Amino acid sequence: MELTDNVLEIRDLVKDFPSVRAVNRVSFDIKRNTVHCLVGENGAGKSTLIKILTGATTRSGGSILLNGEAYTPHSTRDAKQHGISTLFQELNVVDQLTVEENLTLGMEDTTLGFLRKTDKINTMVNVMKSLEPSITPRQLVSTLSVAKKQIVEIAKAVATESDIIIMDEPTAAISESEIKRLFAIIKSLREKNVTVIYISHRLDEIFELGDYVTVMRDGKHIDTKPVSEIKDRSELVKMMIGKTVFEQYTPKEGECKDAILQVCNLSNHKLRDISFEVHEGEIIGFYGLVGAGKTELARAIYGVDPYEGEILFRGKKLPPFPDKVIAAGIALVPEERRSQGLFTILTIRGNVPVMNMRKISRNGFINAGQERKVTLDYIDKLRISTSSMEKEASKLSGGNQQKVVLAKCLFADADLLMLDEPTRGIDVGAKSEIYGIIRQLSKEGKSIMIFSSELPEVVNICDTIYLLYDGRMKATLRNGCDIDSEKILHIVTGGNVTSAADYRGSGDGGE
Amino acid sequence: MIGGRMSNESFITLFMIGVLVVLFGVSCVIVPRFYLPRNMINLLTNNWYIIMLGIGVTFLLITGNFDMSVGGVIAMTGVLSVWFCQDATASQNALAVGLGLPYGVAIALALLCAMGIGAINAFFIARLKVPSIIITLGTMMIARGVAQIVAQGAQRNTSLPDVFGVLGGLTIPGMSVKLSVLVMAVLIVAAFVFEKKTVAGRRTYLIGANSVAARLSGVNVRRHLTSLFIISSLLAGITGILLSSEFKAGGASRAMGYEFDALVISLLGGVSIAGGFGSVLGMFVGAVILSVVTSAATGLLLSPDWQFTIKGVVTFIAILAQRFALDKRKG
């Protein structure tokens, strides 16, 4: 077989979802035996593109040529047989088996159903040894670090003669020294005739590792360039965000009121020394990319995750139990709507009042009339579109489900509302309705904290924005005056906070 | 906007009532004297002890947890209540010697031991998050083991105070209904009110529907599960007291397999083992269905050896029909 220069040629690739075009006529080539980086903001279409390549989803249009031949994977297994392996963030290793067993998993040689030792095992073990000599084949995978588990997966991909290995943020959960080791291995893969497609939010890695980089934005392909032709990270950042148009933010009138929440030197497994204050009626945004520690911050305040440091609410220490935190006057709209916020098998009426049952009951007995009235009120107020309040929550659209979760938290009568990714996966109309509700609440004197990985969202509604990176607070911004999306993206991708005059860096500033 | 359809729970309960009516009708036709009022009352009441267990088991299933320890708790409580109030004076027969406590103290202590089993269940399941099926199978054997040791593998039935047999033998004046049945009826009504009307009842469903969301919505999941496990054991304990009083004996092998019967009637009544779904009323209907089937089989002079097979087949068919009906409705 004659090999072309390009291992993959993507042409006019399109993927449509019911309400959105996630990949919009994307075309680019990936050269053989290179490290090809893929960057873009959250929602740029990277993940969807990868899912199409690995057969996890099907494309709506366009074509893909793999080694010059048409390529339409039907499943991840099919993709693997075509030589495309993927290192997902959730690793595909079985903890309870040994390294050796993991390497041959799914491809065991057998006689009459009994396992047989063959050369295949030796070949694979040798490949693994050449990548990382410190791993022994008889070791249980559960005893390995995340980084070494990744190496086992890479070894498996190399040994099964994958031409392409896709790595989705492999450095998100591993330590600094392990990252160095991983990079050395990735570089060595080129000699083994492997092409690596590398996805990361950490832009510095791209300059260290990449041969080519493809930038995506809003589902579109922006550019593909050799990394050597890119001057610096700010050029890359510019390509990623383009001209982001923000809706008009109107600064709040009047001066700051009393602090309602004070967080001092908060640290835990993910967070490092975070301090800030929330004032009455203020809308605060926490912006950072995936893994920056936003959700962990919300969970710590809410009493779900343990922490060190001090959290004061109205001057009193918050007890670390969600039921007590709610009773004190804080409510959380969790990140994962379906698994953490909603009771999908219950009706809307079963969902709305749950955070404040006291209000619809007397001496522990529920007042059914009041319960119905409250539910109807919120269906009306938040314009939840449903045929009946007895409809199962699972049957509502994403936007309406989110409104039910929001209704639940509003009914809790909280003075401080924490919203973790409040508009993830919902359509534009519902989004702007939710922004309207948030603004209204702030006018009524409620304080709001928004945890978001969408920059337009925080810039659109927040009075103050905190930038998070790797569990640390990197900078504080007052909205209305010093919003520069380029600089913000620079910071949340790990860049140094350069000018203190621009952004009052909090915490330790740079690295 | 207001009206809406009936809930899936009501639908399943009605569906199972329909099944019950059909089964009863068929039995009346083919089994002689099945339609007599006396038999009907029997059908509703002769399973009282399983229904009592079913209350705790149903609520725990709704939270997504099993309680397999209830049968063992009956045996343990029964044997202990006998032992505690047996005469303390020495006798030739070791099984005739007890602690000589007053009867009231004896049952109070026995019930406390029953709740102790519930507390063990709760500690491991609610606090340490061990799957309930494992823990309650363990406590099932521990409770039964205590009964075996104290009754030396047999039963204790001698040198008991006269008052011991009163509770189980009492009938309501004017009716031929036992006190035990009345207790069951009262508990069913209380459970029904708890389920439909109270905040705590609602929280039971929240935990089963999504325990993570329940916690984030301010439900103290650990405390709630602990209460439910202790209540379930307490109900089993009360059942054990009543049964031992009725038989004037505490036997090591009493209530063998009752935990499965309690599970079967809950499932027949439409309770989902995935949690978040089911009702006490449904469980009661399930119990009566089981009662109709076994009683019809006896009436047809089938040998008792057939009982298990018939129960199994009916459970199978009823639950399949239920799932089918629910899917149809959703589809």
Indicate the range of B35-49, B123-137, B142-156, B295-309 predicted with least confidence: B295-309
pLDDT at A296: 93
- Which of A241, A271, A299 terminates a domain? The answer is A241
Of B4, B5, B197, the CB nearest to A365: B197
Interface check for A347 against chain B (CB to CB < 8 A): the answer is yes
Average pLDDT on A336-342 reads: 90
| Residues A430, A399 within the same domain | yes
| Residues A36, A148 within the same domain | yes
DSSP state letter for A316: E
Query: Chain A window 383-442: which residues touch B at a Cβ cutoff of 8 Å?
Result: 387-391, 408, 412
The model's pLDDT over B274-329, given as tens digits with 9 standing for 90+, comes to 888 899 999 999 999 999 988 888 888 778 788 888 888 888 887 888 788 777 76
| Residues A306, A434 within the same domain | yes
- Which of A241, A274, A306 terminates a domain? The answer is A241
The model's pLDDT over A344-397, given as tens digits with 9 standing for 90+, comes to 999 999 999 999 999 999 999 999 999 999 999 999 999 888 888 988 898 888
With beta carbons under 8 A apart, name residues in chain A contacting B211. Answer: none
| Residues A207, A181 within the same domain | yes
- Establish whether this prediction's ipTM goes over 0.90: no
Interface of B with A (CB under 8 A): 1-5, 7, 197-200, 202-203, 205-206, 209-210, 212-220, 276-277
pLDDT at A500: 45
- Distance in angstroms (rounded) separating the CA atoms of residues B14 and B282: 8
Pairing of strands A35-39, A212-217: parallel
Q: What b/e sequence results for A56-85 when a residue is b if at least 16 CB atoms lie within 10 Å of its CB, and e otherwise?
A: bbebeebebbbbeeebebeebeebbebbbb
Does residue A510 lie within any of the structural domains? no
What is the SS3 assignment for A376? helix
Asked if the Cβ–Cβ distance from A302 to B216 is below 8 Å, we say: yes
- Which of A212, A241, A270 terminates a domain? The answer is A241
Q: Which residue has the tokens 């160095």?
A: A180
Number of domains in chain A: 2
Distance from CA of A391 to the nearest CA of B (A): 8
Q: And the tokens for A466?
A: 């905190």
pLDDT at B112: 98
Q: And the tokens for A506?
A: 């909090």
What is the SS3 assignment for A502? coil
For the beta carbon of residue A425, count every other beta carbon within 10 angstroms: 15
Distance from CA of A373 to the nearest CA of B (A): 10
| Residues A219, A312 within the same domain | no
Sign for the CA dihedral angle at A388, A389, A393, A397 comes to: positive
| Residues A264, A229 within the same domain | no
Closest residue in A to B276 (Cα–Cα): A345
Does residue A505 lie within any of the structural domains? no
For chain A, the C-alpha Rg in angstroms (whole number) is 25
With beta carbons under 8 A apart, name residues in chain B contacting A412. Answer: 218
| Residues A218, A296 within the same domain | no
Contacts of A200 (CB under 8 A, 6+ apart): A37, A39, A169, A170, A171, A206
Distance from CA of A307 to the nearest CA of B (A): 17
Asked if the Cβ–Cβ distance from B199 to A365 is below 8 Å, we say: yes
Task: Indicate the pLDDT class of residue A255, thresholds 50, 70 and 90.
Answer: low
pLDDT at A455: 82
pLDDT at A169: 82
Give the residue from B217, B221, B222, B273 with the most A CB atoms within 10 Å of its CB, the best one to mutate. Answer: B217
| Residues A278, A207 within the same domain | no
Per the prediction, chain A carries an average pLDDT of: 85
For chain B, the structural domain boundaries read 46-256+271-277
Domain that holds residue A65: 6-241
| Residues A267, A147 within the same domain | no
Q: The domain spanning residue A70 has which CATH number?
A: 3.40.50.300
The model's pLDDT over A105-123, given as tens digits with 9 standing for 90+, comes to 877 777 777 777 777 778 8
- Distance in angstroms (rounded) separating the CA atoms of residues A401 and A404: 5
Does residue A499 lie within any of the structural domains? no
| Residues A196, A306 within the same domain | no
Of A322, A345, A372, the CB nearest to B276: A345
Task: Indicate the pLDDT class of residue B197, thresholds 50, 70 and 90.
Answer: very high
| pLDDT of A45 above 90 | no
Contacts of A214 (CB under 8 A, 6+ apart): A28, A36, A37, A38, A39, A221, A223, A224
A221 and A26 Cβ atoms separated by less than 8 Å: yes
With beta carbons under 8 A apart, name residues in chain B contacting A332. Answer: 216
Contacts of B258 (CB under 8 A, 6+ apart): B49, B50, B53, B70, B71, B74
